[in-house]
Structures are given as structure tokens and as C-alpha cells.
A and B are shown apart, each in its own frame.
Chain A
Amino acid sequence: MTNRLMLTLNGEPRELPSPLTVAGLLAAIGLDTRKVAVERNEEIVPRSAYHATHLASGDALEIVHFIGGG
């Protein structure tokens, strides 16, 4: 039986297969890594660390981008 990860993505609970890196997560969602930034448990994950950063159950992630603003 595959392990499941319980994550909070942008405030929403999500269940995903383990193991999973930040790079894997962004690819699964379909996001261009050059256009987003990721925070894991209130700490920035540098883009250079996406492949090496393994997610754990209970992690809270914020995935943000730029939108129109004044």
C-alpha cells in the first residue's frame, strides 16, 4: 500500500502520494516553476531546492504568483 501525504496547499487540505518533492508537486499541479514562489511551513523554498525538498505529512505550503495590483 502506497503511503499518502496529508498536505495543506494554499489553505486547502490535499492528499497526495508519497514520496513527493516540491518539484514533483508543482509538476503534478501543472505549474511553471519560473512563475511561482513556494513557502513551506512559512519558510521560503528556493527554486534551486525544489528537487531536493521532500514533503512530509502535515506540511503547509503556499504557492503564489504575481497578479494585477496597484
Chain B
Amino acid sequence: MDATPTLIDDDTWTVAGRVFRSRLVVGTGKYRDLPETAAAIEASGAEIVTVAVRRVNLSDASAPMLQDYVDPKRYTYLPNTAGCHTAKDAVRTLRLAREAGGWNLVKLEVLGPPPHLYPDMAATFEAAAALIADGFEVMVYCADDPVAAKRLEQMGCVAVMPLGAPIGSGLGIQNPAMLAMLIEQARVPVLVDAGVGTASDAAIAMELGCDAVLLNSAIAHAREPVRMARAMRLAVEAGRLAHRAGRMPRRMGADPSSPLAGLIR
């Protein structure tokens, strides 16, 4: 008898026509070195990794590059617009990324100032419009704002990525009710991006019904990044399974699990 139900293998998600099995998307920043980056990404099981575009250090052109450790043929690189504050900067940066890598699936993020680095939605709308007009497929970091997320979707963004909490804060899923409503109404994939601090946060995000979780610091800044990468992989799978299984109703009182009938006297 085949007692192993197909719970995960048939459960894929699709963004811009690309099909993925892993629902964990990881960043490649903040690691101690490139070997640690590679080991943590491997342990995470991620199929998509975010990357930044920066000037080459011309005084040390022989320094190892990210591609030497994280193979772009194996992982889908998702170039970001970190550090861009205008639509012009974002378009310029991602045009370079497209030339360096040859793909047009990108992560748009336009941030406000510290200490919150909250998504600058006015600038995000402007940059999204410019990128879509230039032929990019835009996965967009955004506020946990269902109105803004719907507008981005209607503009043609291929995924919306509301924050769980401020970038790098590790504060967890701060606004689950609004995220649940945003997910409910979305017609493109929703990824919770930023704010995850530990495995339970990732599971909570997945239980809310989002399509995937994007995180970086929670792995890179763990005491043991490779171990935490594995924890995140399992948490995302667990949260996804729990969402699909459908949780039991909450009730304001106990309900014994063992039958009361047949007690010995």
C-alpha cells in the first residue's frame, strides 16, 4: 500500500510563467563570506535568490564573484534595486542587471529613510510603471496595504511582496490581519518579504496563505546560518502544509481528545 500521500511535490507556484517548488526565496547579502553564502543557500532549498548590482572593484578584478559560488544556471537570480531612490535609478540599475544576466524578472524596492526603511509607495508606483514599460517582469516590495498591492497588480506587476516587519528587524509578522486580506484579494503571487526573524515567523506567514516567503537576515545573521537555513526550509514547508490542511476552529474552552464513554468504574 502506498501510504505516502503526495503533499509537497505536486504543490508548485508560478510567477511570470516560471514554475517553482520551493516557497522560500533567499537573499545573498550579509554573509561572512561567499562559501558561507553558498552553503546556506544550498541548505535553504531555495530556487530563487535575490542579488544586488554594484560597481566592480577595479583595483581587485580577480576577486571571486557571487556567480562563482551561487551558480546562475542552478538558481534564478532576482536582481534588486536596493539603494535606488528614484524611478530613473531603478530602471538604470535593472537594465544593467538584464545585460549582466540576460533575464527580466526583477525585484523592485524603493525605500524610505532610516530607521524604518518603509516602502516609499509613491516612488514605487512610478518606478514600477517605468520598469513595466521597459519590458521588465516586476516583483515588487510594498507596504502591507491592500489598496496599494491591488494597484500594483493592476499595473502589471507579476508579484506583490508586502513586508512582515521592517527590513532586517527580525520582528516577525506584525500585521497578520491585513496580510490575510491582501492575500485573499490578490490575483498574482504574494510573497511576505522582510521581517522574518526565526522559523516560526516564516511558518506564520505561510499559514496566512502567502505563496512564498523572502528573507535574508534571519539566516545570514543567525549564529549558525546553515542550520537556520534548514530550519527556514522546514518552517516554510510546514506552514504551507498547515495552510493547505486547514487549521481546526479556535474554541473558547477545552474539548477532550479521549472519549468519555467506556471509562472503567
Contact = CB atoms under 8 A, between A and B. Distances in A.
B44 interface: no
Contacts of A56: none
Contact of A39 (B27, B77, B96): B96
A46 interface: yes
B95 A64 contact: no
Given A31-B56, A70-B80, A44 B99 contact: yes
A17 interface: no
Contact of B100 (A12, A29, A35): A35
Interface string A1-20: 00000000111100000000
B130 to A, nearest CB: 15
Q: Which of A10, A35, A44, A67 has the most CB of B within 10 A?
A: A67
B18 to A, nearest CB: 19
Contacts of A9: 58
B223 to A, nearest CB: 19
Contacts of A32: 65
Contacts of A12: 58
Interface string B146-170: 0000000000000000000001100
Interface of B: 27-31, 34, 37, 50-56, 58, 61-62, 65-67, 77, 79-80, 82, 92, 95-97, 99-101, 167-168, 194, 216-217
Interface of A: 9-12, 29-32, 35-39, 42, 44, 46-47, 62-70
14 contacts: A31-B61, A35-B65, A37-B100, A42-B92, A64-B55, A65-B100, A66-B51, A66-B53, A66-B66, A66-B100, A67-B28, A69-B27, A69-B80, A70-B27
